[in-house]
Structure 1
């Protein structure tokens, strides 16, 4: 973050050096010029403490020496003494406003930084209108102007929130940042900068974690090895099931930690949870990591899309947001999210909500209130990201506000800020999100997969798809204990399938309406060994009432059945149709037979050999529940398959 201060006036500083070193000065006082050139030498070496008194002498010799005021203001900017820098610039520009025009931009930016937005707007507008700067400085001035305009309006229309510091169990007199919340909202993992005499820089970054108890966060603790080492680890993202973590390792003079290799100043690594322990981190490789700086990954809830920030060449600015996809051959070449998201400035701190439709990030390139503001973008129906929305005041302030994360329900957000009133340099805060900034809420399903006969845990493979369009939402694997967790966005109907070699696949249907409270779905998944007589109810095969034509939503389940038969090429199955006891026996027998026939025909039309298939209608002869109530009758109306040959 210190880099942002150094870069604050880098464009103006470079222009200033050109003017400051030119042979013709604004002064003809030889003694003043001699002292000024001595001061300039100290300034170039960053000996600011020695340069300042020399510059005071210059001004005493010649109070109209404009360059001296400009250099003094730049020193104060580097020292973060912004009000003093403003005073020097106002003095220098008051003497001759046209001698060093770019100082108007420096002054406009300082007005913005010190919350004098009206003055900043006026000064940036003057600079653009009167001096017609070249492209780089023009772009910078336009951003300052737009940010001042935005800030004036934002302060008039504050967001109704009350940021709450997470308190001393999480925050300290050190820096806490990059918070990430588990899907169940009971674990917080964040990065802390800590003193370490082993480190070359005497400070390093480590992961810390805190558990929630009775709505309060317990004392945070260092996660320890093998994740934390003497080098810098941070900027992490957990997969929803908690079985994998993507995070950033930054080198210390080429060292990434014992047994770790890197490609740039910061790289993205992955570690997996095996038998309760994290594996040694593995670099994602040169396809993802560049020789520059790649950091702050955020994993989507489907476990196959990774967002991160990078300084690699070819982007739109200093730091851009990229995305890479997990394919059958590994991670894809990262794609830039484009100019709607990325600017000539810095975009970072990216967070993709588990709804996979809402992106939050920080930027100093879009109009905002401070050095770094937080933004939200929604994915559009065409798959592109929409125009970013500034989260507003007081979520954003004139300070640095960054590292944003939102809980699964979309109710509460967590951010990092150096705003006044904290415990240290950077603290983690929490607040309730206003409705217009909320993502789509999600819940999760947690449970265990096991052998239905022996209860032995199974590492089954899960797949969750939207029935409407067949789009895969999640693909995941249960851990060695058979435990799993998958995210389920509300407002959709889903097909969930679980499969394991040597077993019949499991089928489930979920229809999640608008949430009332965050109540996870708990589900045990017994898998049946493949054997003669084994049955699976196809819970995602659908027909209209009293019809036997397959509805389009059935395709997801039918594709799964086809895949199962392809993986088990010797199996023969019978498709069985079943009804409740409403209506005549003859009608129900015909209806159930035709429904079974429709499934069998679809499989044949999709290259399953007909000699492996048979079908039969059972009407209401094999109920699995009572037909005396609506719920029972609903369960009895079903399509299933049965193993009849191996």
Structure 2
């Protein structure tokens, strides 16, 4: 419990021992013997002697008080409360501080209504010292929150993830890829005995793959190079695209502090040797609980370094334009009491974490906050009771779809120690439903697999939602695709024309996509359809969301300074051919004008309208007509 609570316990005990409330010397003698046994931490003997003292005088107050303290120390809370209440029953004025002590135990044991009464009684009798006012107010807030939360429980039916994941040892701190096919977690393992015969316990990282029947397969130890023979590796996160692994390792020669964050990259299906992520993230203190944003640009983690707000804080490091990590910053959601275990969802905006400094059920509770478009955070929301309880809840993640959550618990009925459980998240605390695009990048002509930069960009905000690189060995990539937004997908590589695709998901049912991405080398005659350039119906004014893709074209032209292109406008066959021809010319000119406004020399550009004369598919369906209404560019001169 809290530092104020511990100080009060000492004060409440020692303030009551100066004068005995009995005159029976035999009772006092037993009590004094019991005090000595307590000081020697012989609790069993101390309990026996206190009870013998009470047999000699049932109204002897001090033995009840010491028994209350003793039972509290060995975490037998009901017996502790019983003895504290007996003290106040004998003498309600004995020590008003005991009302505070009782209230703390009641809060700790989910007796919220009783805790409110006793906190208020303590405040009425003694007042609250100014240095502890903030802490006391939080305790009262916790009691009130807990009392209301118990009356209004949220749905919660946790299911053990089974023996393919859990063992008789501890399993905890999970993460999951955006395709929901790889589940990673930390597990403890008994690896033998020490020289003294004590068990040697080691932390390692494990993974499980989802089978064709949608079940999790038997977990597998990552082994080298991620896991090592003699060190502990734990508290990890696999990136949403499955390409990177961030994890915690302690007391290594390459570390900056007691525990540091390390990173490994998967190339061609194999993990590379892990490297320390550097001193912009790691410090001389303790870092753990990493979580990488789906755009790969932000790493959230827990640290107890100086300069924060509490004993543990959540920090974030962002990458600069060159891909280097910047100095970590303390998040605005932190409190003075402690915040830990951040998890940024695949939607890129929903952050789950644990906090001890916000109204909750009494200790660390699970919260959710959302990142606004301006980068600030919404007011954190408690996940509710009974997801949160009077105990510590440290860490929860949500699957990409946002329906299931995963967490660790040592609740009864498991396989032993901490087990991993899944449960359905209440609607109000779910993230944005997110699926994925699974792609394969290759050279169109040679069919050789290519590593290329892949970006998914929100067309409304122009924010990069996901950024990754296709594997240089197999050309594969995986990106998050949050629902109810419209996106541009851009794939680019030096020496090649960029690949453009569009995903309009507003108001539509979302499903995963598989994509073949043939990359075309820059040479005269090659063309690209700009799938994210938009106009109002029958008009040639560019819609604002067109800027995202046109700016990509601007960058390509600036990087290839000798390149000359022709902008081509095309329509479907609906309406008057003459009007279609004019509209296509105007639209091509609008695109050219925008490129010039962004610093591209007009001598490198030309525009041409084709009307409905060059369809790329049939005009017999609306889908076909939509494809024929297009803007493209063609390389004129390399």
Specify if TM > 0.5.
Answer: yes
1:586 aligns with 2:578: yes
Of 20-29 and 478-487, deviating more is 20-29
Of 567-576 and 71-80, deviating more is 71-80
Stretches of structure 2 lacking an aligned partner (at least 5 in a row): none
When residues 100 and 211 of structure 1 are mapped into structure 2, their CA distance, relative to the original with a 3 A threshold, is farther
When residues 559 and 124 of structure 1 are mapped into structure 2, their CA distance, relative to the original with a 3 A threshold, is same
- Once residues 609 and 575 of structure 2 are traced to their aligned partners in structure 1, the CA distance between those partners, rounded to angstroms, is 15
- Once residues 141 and 426 of structure 2 are traced to their aligned partners in structure 1, the CA distance between those partners, rounded to angstroms, is 24
**Contact map agreement 1:446 1:483 (CA 8 A) in 2:** yes
2:152 to 151, 157, 168: 157
Alignment correspondent of 1:173:
168
1:142 aligns with 2:141: no
1:633 aligns with 2:631: no
When residues 18 and 157 of structure 1 are mapped into structure 2, their CA distance, relative to the original with a 3 A threshold, is closer
**Contact map agreement 2:174 2:186 (CA 8 A) in 1:** yes
Considering only aligned residues, what root-mean-square deviation do their CA atoms show, in Å? 2.9
1:119 aligns with 2:118: no
Deviations 1:540-573 (A, max 9, x none): 1111222222221111111101111111111111
Alignment correspondent of 2:239:
239
- Once the two structures are TM-superposed, the CA of residue 456 in structure 1 deviates from its matched residue by 0.5
Of 285-294 and 478-487, deviating more is 285-294
- Once the two structures are TM-superposed, the CA of residue 416 in structure 1 deviates from its matched residue by 1.7
**Contact map agreement 1:16 1:70 (CA 8 A) in 2:** no
**Contact map agreement 1:70 1:103 (CA 8 A) in 2:** no
Alignment correspondent of 2:330:
336
For the residue of structure 1 that corresponds to 2:348, the secondary structure is coil
- Once the two structures are TM-superposed, the CA of residue 319 in structure 1 deviates from its matched residue by 1.8
**Contact map agreement 2:143 2:362 (CA 8 A) in 1:** no
- Once residues 531 and 162 of structure 1 are traced to their aligned partners in structure 2, the CA distance between those partners, rounded to angstroms, is 59
Of 87-96 and 622-631, deviating more is 87-96
Alignment correspondent of 1:497:
490
Of 555-564 and 276-285, deviating more is 276-285
Alignment correspondent of 1:5:
none
**Where does 1:98-497 land on structure 2 (aligned, <5 Å)?**
98=93, 100-135=95-130, 137-197=132-192, 202-213=200-211, 214-229=213-228, 230-249=230-249, 251=250, 255-256=251-252, 260-328=253-321, 330-338=324-332, 341-380=333-372, 382-480=374-472, 481-497=474-490
- Once the two structures are TM-superposed, the CA of residue 645 in structure 1 deviates from its matched residue by 1.0
**Contact map agreement 1:26 1:67 (CA 8 A) in 2:** no
Alignment correspondent of 2:500:
507
**Contact map agreement 1:361 1:403 (CA 8 A) in 2:** yes
For the residue of structure 2 that corresponds to 1:202, the secondary structure is strand
Of 568-577 and 385-394, deviating more is 385-394
When residues 364 and 278 of structure 1 are mapped into structure 2, their CA distance, relative to the original with a 3 A threshold, is same
- Once the two structures are TM-superposed, the CA of residue 38 in structure 1 deviates from its matched residue by 8.1
Q: When the two structures are aligned, how many residues end up with a matched partner?
A: 629
- Once residues 214 and 265 of structure 2 are traced to their aligned partners in structure 1, the CA distance between those partners, rounded to angstroms, is 29
- Once residues 361 and 41 of structure 1 are traced to their aligned partners in structure 2, the CA distance between those partners, rounded to angstroms, is 44
When residues 342 and 45 of structure 1 are mapped into structure 2, their CA distance, relative to the original with a 3 A threshold, is farther
When residues 156 and 594 of structure 1 are mapped into structure 2, their CA distance, relative to the original with a 3 A threshold, is same
- Once residues 9 and 69 of structure 1 are traced to their aligned partners in structure 2, the CA distance between those partners, rounded to angstroms, is 23
- Once residues 15 and 134 of structure 2 are traced to their aligned partners in structure 1, the CA distance between those partners, rounded to angstroms, is 25
**Contact map agreement 2:96 2:125 (CA 8 A) in 1:** no
**Contact map agreement 1:401 1:418 (CA 8 A) in 2:** no
Deviations 1:5-33 (A, max 9, x none): xxx25433334445666897233989999
- Once residues 222 and 49 of structure 1 are traced to their aligned partners in structure 2, the CA distance between those partners, rounded to angstroms, is 44
- Once the two structures are TM-superposed, the CA of residue 602 in structure 1 deviates from its matched residue by 1.5
For the residue of structure 2 that corresponds to 1:639, the secondary structure is strand
**Contact map agreement 1:241 1:485 (CA 8 A) in 2:** yes
- Once residues 81 and 614 of structure 1 are traced to their aligned partners in structure 2, the CA distance between those partners, rounded to angstroms, is 83
- Once residues 159 and 433 of structure 2 are traced to their aligned partners in structure 1, the CA distance between those partners, rounded to angstroms, is 22
- Once residues 265 and 41 of structure 1 are traced to their aligned partners in structure 2, the CA distance between those partners, rounded to angstroms, is 39
When residues 482 and 175 of structure 1 are mapped into structure 2, their CA distance, relative to the original with a 3 A threshold, is same
Q: What TM-score do you get using the length of structure 1 for normalisation?
A: 0.89
For the residue of structure 2 that corresponds to 1:350, the secondary structure is strand
